[in-house]
Amino acid sequence: MSLSQRTMAALLVLVLAAAMCAPAARAQLVMEDVKRRIDLTSFRAGFQTKLTVRNDGQTAAESVLLCFPNGLLDHAAVIETGDGGTKLKWAVALPPADAPAGVGCRAFQLAAPLGPGAKVSLQSEGLFTHVLQPKPAKIKQNEPQRVVYQDSAVLASPYAVEQQSTEIVLGTSNTASFTAVPPSKQSGSVVQYGPYQSTAPFALQPISVLYENSSPFAHVPELEREIEISHWGQVYFEERYTLRHAGAQVVGEWSRYDVMTKPAEFARAAIPGLSATLPPAAHSLYYRDAIGNISSSEARFGADQVSVQLQPRYPLFGGWLVKFLFGWSVPLQNCVTKMPTGRMAFVAPLGPAVHGLVVDQLTVRVVLPEGARGAQVEVGLPLEVPPEQGLKYTYLDVMGRPVVVLRISNYVDELNLPLKVEYTYSSLGLLQKPLLLVAVFGAIFAAAIALNRSGAALKGSPSSQAPRHRAPIRPISVSSSSHVAVASGGGAVQAPGVRRAAPATAARNMPVKPNKYIEEWGTRREHLETEYKWDNKTLITLAIWIGAVPYLIYQVTVGEFNRTDAVAQRPARAMLGSES
Amino acid sequence: MAGEAAALAAKKLAYGNVIAGFLLLAICVLATSVRLFSVIKYESVIHEFDPYFNYRVSRFLTEKGFTETWDFFDSFTWYPLGRVVGGTMYPGLIFTAGAIWSLLQQLNVPIHIQEVCVFTAPLFSGACALSTYLFMKEVRGQGAGLASAAIIAVVPSYISRSVAGSYDLEAVAIFALVFVFYLYVKTLNTGSLKWATALFFGYLYMVASWGGYSFIANLLPIHCLACIVFQRVSVRLYIAYAPWVVLGALAAANIPVIGFNAVLMSEHMASFFVFGLLHAALAIQYIQHMLPPRAYSAAKRLVITVGGAALALVLALVVSYVAASPTFGWTGRSLSLLDPTYASKYIPIIASVSEHQPPTWSSYFTDLHIASLLAPAGLLLCFRPLTDASLFLLLYGVTAVYFSGVMVRLMLVLAPAACCLAGLALSEVTSYLATSLAAAHQDDAAAATASAAASRRVESEAADSAAPSNTGTSKRTAKDTAASASSARKGGKAAKKSSAASGGDSWLSDTWRPLPKDVAIVGLILVFAGMGLFYKHSVFVAGEMYSAPSIVLQSKRADGGVKVFDDFREAYAWLSYNTPPEAKVASWWDYGYQTTAMANRTVIVDNNTWNNTHIATVGRAMSSPEKKAWQIFRSLDVEYVFVVFGGFIGYPSDDINKFLWMVRIGGGVFPEIKEPAYLGADGNYRVDDQAGKALLDSTMWKLSYYRFADCGPMFGAPRGYDRVRNTVIGKTDFELKYFEEVFTSEHWMMRIYRVLPQPNRDTKLRNPRRTKVTNRARIKRRAASGAPA
């Protein structure tokens, strides 16, 4: 099934669920038993709910509504519900009219309609991101990081619940406070609410837990993942991270000495490093940022995977930010296979190689080889934003390479989505670039040859026929009375007058192409040398050209300068002759 | 017989040309690849300090375009003054890299400008080898050209400024320098206006690339003057020189950083002066040609008296104009070249830069190696025969030697000269030896039949045949073959010269006699051994000494691995991502370019040391006690201050070691900073308990050593032990009142502090809320603490 079909189906289910299923099925269902377990040990909130649903109504129920208070659903990265064997399909549902503000619901379609009186056991699991808020938001370097979690002590259920209990696992016994809803108690690192009997629909009991959580809040506001497929043999992966520690912001003095000597106290929530896993054939790894290579990384090449430890340039403390690039290559045959239909199929994980992150906005670009057609994308999830198509021009591209862009928000490792891109590509396309280069260079050489063969004009220039420099140079001595001319003759320093007459003949025998300007100049010069007379007329001409014209030019220039100075309201500049 | 010989000779010439072409290609490839050690050993990154500015402007060029770059006003530096970058930089390098980048962009090669910048210098080193070949080919011949190219390709002095990543002006400027020389000599030899035009464009590129163009602007006049004095004035000289003066001055004036300096500063006076002189010399020639001898001598007397008077007048005017300027019309940097003591006396900023110090003798050998031995021989060979071109080479060599003696940095100008001279010597020596060898070989073959007249012809043929026979025999390095090919060419030429029985312009050609075979063989072996050593030395130097990018340090670990100290970039990255984008960062000026380029923050001072007062202000803040420094920094809107500190790992070029220059430069403008106060009682600069009191109180001390004392035991040393100065520091435990440590890099090499908006309350003071304080006392205290009320 193609992606667009998938999306359509999802939309259809959504509309159906919103319009019909929810109100009809609601009144009939009853939750017999609900056991909730909320895991707050990391910087994300995980939950695990076991529920037994019974149909007390007259008609069969198609779906079950699961709801979450406090806008939690907006932060859901993944929610999966199963009935012991299969995963249930779901759709976003409008909360019932009597639901309190902030409640969001999802409608899970049961594998088989639940007949009247029948029961079904469901397990629901999920992850919320951005729900643990640091409190206080700013701490000193040695202060513990505390976070607050807000939920309801009872399940936000649109159905009546006969019996339920909630268990919150904190991973620490350092609880600052938690809202008491009897029977509730803390035992060790676990806070327990319940069991509660017979709760009405949406009878919420808001609770908030404030506790110490030293997890590194590794949030990635933006992550760009670019995959470039080259049918010359490699697939290039590059991931551009913006990593932020979203925990309590460290303010005030920050001491390296304390970090070095007492890391347990002064660097407790810092992100010291990240780990990534690459396929076993990965090679040519790089880890850098805008100002160069980041030297603190380590890769172990194993048989079934390559595991990489990446350390940012500096350990990330609360509120700090860092950006970096991480890239590698994989041989083509490890990623791309030719399907029986003749089309190519590229398969890789959709998500980033680095583990343990919360990615707010993940952008995946798949750059297909130039000449690929008919790209179809398949991801194991209906996408909120349909994939976009684009073009990218790199290495000697003429037509550009087709690019498929996928955008996913709130990505976590647990989604673990595969990415499959199918496209049509002819291996003949590989020949395009070599042929292009051959053609271009061939054209250049052909042009050069043609020019050389036909280029009499290039050879006939006077300068190439003039005496070459190898012909030693004839110096012209100041006391010599010979003609000033380019000439050939003896070479080295010579006493003046040693060879005065010899060179002239060589110069005269040369074929010279007459240049009309030079000829004209020669004529004038000859005129000046032989016929020029000093008389009144020539004197006046001379006076005009030597005296009057320069003077006028000078005056006009000075006038212009002064005028522009006046316009720009600058003080007038001192000119030659003007008093300064 | 003669026709066959001519055909054979033509064929050999063609072979020789092809071999020379391949050799040249090999030399260029070698010149480029020997500079890539830094990329292989470290990474593809911009090196050191100044290249970061060039890189940043190049990035600006690629983002904003050509015209925007001319108008680039940089508000990120010299806060609050800013810098008109377009008008104060030499744009040649940046536009070159930008042009290469945009060409690649046109071909859809997705390369980042940084990679282009990194590889510009090696690329142009190859081009420089090529232009050296052309230059020396013009001066003497193909053999000398190849030998010079082979030497300049790996000369350490040039490698030091042109390894990959060393994106400095010199990267293209040395190429441009040699290329301008080539064009000048070519014009001089051909007298062609076509080449004069090329010379103009070459000079334009040179002027746009480097302030060192003033070397050319003075060398060409010197050469022209020498030609006039030695009575070698010719039309070719006129065509080479006169258009260059006029057009060159216009070209220089078009580069904003030079502007009207092209006609106003004393650097350019010589060219105009000689321009006039050249015209005078030509005029005299012309008049002499026109007038009968008697009238000429009368005119000569008249002109000498009138001209002498006029000249005296002009000289007086020029002298009075020049003397009116405090630096005699020279720029400070030029004057410090003419008077080596000038900078240390008046401009501490110029004197504080290590590359502006005079070089030691050993650095001549390290940087030039065999070229420094061969160059004097080359100087002698310039006289054999002395042509206009070899006169030029001679003058270039002599002046470059002088300038290199003043400043280490100008070794770079000497390098091409030394290489050309050495190449000349090498090619002559090799050709002499090879020709002797070939002659001996021929003598063995046709010993009995050779008559005195015939032997000369045989010699010439033998010399011609030297190239193919040599190239075929054994393994060859590029250099080897260069030498042998050169020997063939030169040998042929020398032999021809001897057979031509010319009129005695060469002191050797008449008495040319082959050396004995054994001596020739030993000589050749010695020459090749010398060149082998030179290449070994150069490759070693390129790999070990000059390839460190200086922003990343490496040291060998005990287990043989490499430990990387990447503290500078760690701290710059921290500044870049974790401080407000508009924050101003203060540091010593050395790190200004790096901060703007890598941390992308506004700095107070940077490596373009144009405003001494501003730098002195920062020097004063660093030298002052904390409170005073806080006031200065607050007045400059500084939010972050960082210092470079080596005491933790033993990095010697840190701020404490540079501190005396801060004191000197600060004291030069603000007399309250007195250098003796920062020295120990014995007059030495020291950091132990004998240290000067002002040093212990200075902000630099506090920012460097804050909380450092306890680190001593970490590396098994006493408390407060400084690994650079190898001593326990004089003052260990103190608190900061006006600054706050916000980041220190992993090895403490960079320590960043925040300038507090209000000083920390001194814990020793009593809490003012508990005690009764009258309003007047409160005001008084506020005034004293300097805090804004």
Residue A147: name the closest of A134, A138, A157 by CA. A134
Question: Would the CB atoms of A257 and B711 count as touching at under 8 Å?
Answer: yes
- Classify residue B676 by its DSSP letter: G
Tell me what pLDDT residue B263 has. 85
Q: Which of A256, A468, A513 to mutate to test the interface with B (most CBs of B within 10 A)?
A: A256
DSSP-based three-state secondary structure for B168: coil
Q: Rounded distance, CA B111 to CA A70, Å? A: 49
User: Strand pairing of B638-644 and B750-755?
Assistant: antiparallel
Q: Rounded distance, CA B28 to CA B122, Å? A: 10
Tell me what pLDDT residue A244 has. 93
Tell me the residue type at B187.
T
A15 touches chain B (CB under 8 A): no
pLDDT per position as a tens digit, A191-231: 999 889 888 888 888 899 999 998 899 999 999 999 999 99
Helix (H) or strand (E) holding A308: strand A306-310
What's the token pair of residue B282?
Answer: 């030509």
Q: How far is B535 from chain A (nearest CA, A)?
A: 31
Q: Which of A476, A512, A528 to mutate to test the interface with B (most CBs of B within 10 A)?
A: A476
Q: Which of A255, A295, A322 sits opposite B566 (nearest CB)?
A: A295
Q: Which of A394, A475, A493 sits opposite B110 (nearest CB)?
A: A394
User: Strand pairing of A76-82 and A119-128?
Assistant: antiparallel
Q: Rounded distance, CA A522 to CA A519, Å? A: 5
Phi and psi at residue B592, in whole multiples of 5°? -60, -50
pLDDT per position as a tens digit, A484-503: 333 333 334 344 443 444 44
CB contacts under 8 A, A 49-108 vs B, are none
DSSP-based three-state secondary structure for B332: helix
Question: Would the CB atoms of B742 and A257 count as touching at under 8 Å?
Answer: no
A564 touches chain B (CB under 8 A): no
Q: Which residue of B has its CA nearest to A258?
A: B707
Instruction: Please identify which residue in the block is written with the tokens 């390095």.
Output: B477
Q: Which of A253, A394, A475 sits opposite B232 (nearest CB)?
A: A475
Q: Which of B193, B224, B232 to mutate to test the interface with A (most CBs of A within 10 A)?
A: B232
Q: What is the ipTM of this complex?
A: 0.79
**Which residues, at least 6 apart from A212, have a Cβ–Cβ distance to it below 8 Å?**
A144, A145, A146, A172, A174, A175, A176
A492 touches chain B (CB under 8 A): yes
Residues of B in contact with A496 (CB under 8 A): 231
A256 touches chain B (CB under 8 A): yes
* Angle in degrees, 0-180, between the axes of helices B213-229 and B388-406, rounded to the nearest 10: 130
Question: Would the CB atoms of B285 and A476 count as touching at under 8 Å?
Answer: yes
Q: What angle do CA B266, B271, B272 make, to 5 degrees?
A: 85
Q: Which of B388, B569, B745 sits opposite A473 (nearest CB)?
A: B388
Q: Which residue of A has its CA nearest to B287?
A: A481
Residue B643: name the closest of B698, B684, B693 by CA. B698
Question: Would the CB atoms of B745 and A468 count as touching at under 8 Å?
Answer: no
Q: Is A319 left (phi over 0), alpha (psi -120 to 50) or beta?
A: left
Tell me what pLDDT residue A180 has. 87
Residue B425 burial class via C-beta count within 10 angstroms: exposed 0-12, middle 13-18, buried 19 and up: buried
pLDDT per position as a tens digit, B212-225: 898 999 999 999 99
Q: Which of B235, B290, B569 sits opposite A485 (nearest CB)?
A: B235
DSSP E strands in A115-233: the ranges are 119-128, 133-134, 138-139, 146-152, 160-169, 175-178, 184-187, 190-199, 206-212, 218-230
Q: Which of A255, A321, A482 sits opposite B707 (nearest CB)?
A: A255
Question: Would the CB atoms of A395 and B109 count as touching at under 8 Å?
Answer: yes
Q: Which residue of A has its CA nearest to B388?
A: A473
Q: Which of A245, A473, A510 to mutate to test the interface with B (most CBs of B within 10 A)?
A: A473
Q: Is A253 left (phi over 0), alpha (psi -120 to 50) or beta?
A: beta
Residue A393: name the closest of A367, A365, A372, A374 by CA. A367
pLDDT per position as a tens digit, A105-139: 888 988 888 888 888 899 999 999 999 999 889 99
* Angle in degrees, 0-180, between the axes of helices B478-500 and B411-445, rounded to the nearest 10: 70
Tell me what pLDDT residue B561 has. 79
Q: How far is A299 from chain B (nearest CA, A)?
A: 15
**Which residues, at least 6 apart from A396, have a Cβ–Cβ distance to it below 8 Å?**
A433, A436, A437, B107, B108, B109
Q: Rounded distance, CA A265 to CA A258, Å? A: 8
Tell me what pLDDT residue B80 has. 87
DSSP E strands in A443-486: the ranges are none
Q: Which of A321, A473, A481 sits opposite B387 (nearest CB)?
A: A473
Low-confidence stretches of chain B (pLDDT < 50) are 448, 450-508, 768, 771-773, 786-789
Residues of B in contact with A323 (CB under 8 A): 577
Tell me what pLDDT residue A480 has. 38
What's the token pair of residue B534?
Answer: 């030179």
Is the N-terminal amide bond of A195 cis, ω within 30° of 0? yes
Residues of A in contact with B386 (CB under 8 A): 492-493
A264 touches chain B (CB under 8 A): no
Q: Rounded distance, CA B279 to CA B214, Å? A: 22
Tell me what pLDDT residue B621 has. 93
User: Strand pairing of A306-310 and A297-301?
Assistant: antiparallel
Tell me what pLDDT residue B464 has. 44
Question: Would the CB atoms of B192 and A253 count as touching at under 8 Å?
Answer: no
DSSP-based three-state secondary structure for B742: strand
A449 touches chain B (CB under 8 A): no
Q: Rounded distance, CA B474 to CA B268, Å? A: 53
Question: Would the CB atoms of B598 and A291 count as touching at under 8 Å?
Answer: yes
Adjacent-strand bridge partners of A358: A219, A412
Low-confidence stretches of chain A (pLDDT < 70) are 1-27, 455-512, 575-580
DSSP-based three-state secondary structure for B396: helix
Q: Rounded distance, CA B667 to CA B729, Å? A: 24
Q: What is the dihedral of CA B734, B739, B741, B745, to 10 degrees?
A: -100
Q: How far is B145 from chain A (nearest CA, A)?
A: 14
DSSP-based three-state secondary structure for A228: strand
Residue B157 burial class via C-beta count within 10 angstroms: exposed 0-12, middle 13-18, buried 19 and up: buried
Q: Which residue of A has its CA nearest to B187?
A: A469
Sign of the Cα torsion B541, B542, B544, B549 reads positive
Q: Is B683 left (phi over 0), alpha (psi -120 to 50) or beta?
A: left
Q: Which residue of B has its CA nearest to A437?
A: B107
Q: Which of B110, B506, B741 sits opposite A255 (nearest CB)?
A: B741
Q: Please provide the distance, in angstroms rounded to a whole number, between the alpha carbons at the two ends of chain B.
A: 107
Question: Would the CB atoms of A260 and B282 count as touching at under 8 Å?
Answer: no
* Angle in degrees, 0-180, between the axes of helices B113-139 and B50-64, rounded to the nearest 10: 110
Measured CA distances, A113 to A55, A62, A79 (Å): 10, 5, 21
Question: Would the CB atoms of B107 and A478 count as touching at under 8 Å?
Answer: no
Tell me what pLDDT residue B553 has. 86
CB atoms within 10 A of CB B645: 27
Helix, strand, coil fractions of chain A, as percent rounded to 5 = 25, 40, 40
A321 touches chain B (CB under 8 A): yes
> Taking a C-beta distance cutoff of 8 angstroms, is the pair A40, A211 a contact?
yes
Distance, CA of B297 to chain centre: 51
Residues of A in contact with B234 (CB under 8 A): 473-476, 486
**Which residues, at least 6 apart from A69, have a Cβ–Cβ distance to it below 8 Å?**
A100, A102, A103, A151, A152, A156, A204, A206
Tell me the residue type at B407.
M
Distance, CA of B661 to chain centre: 23
> Taking a C-beta distance cutoff of 8 angstroms, is the pair A290, B41 a contact?
no
Question: Would the CB atoms of A252 and B740 count as touching at under 8 Å?
Answer: yes
Distance, CA of B51 to chain centre: 12
Q: Rounded distance, CA B679 to CA A449, Å? A: 75
Tell me what pLDDT residue A307 has. 93
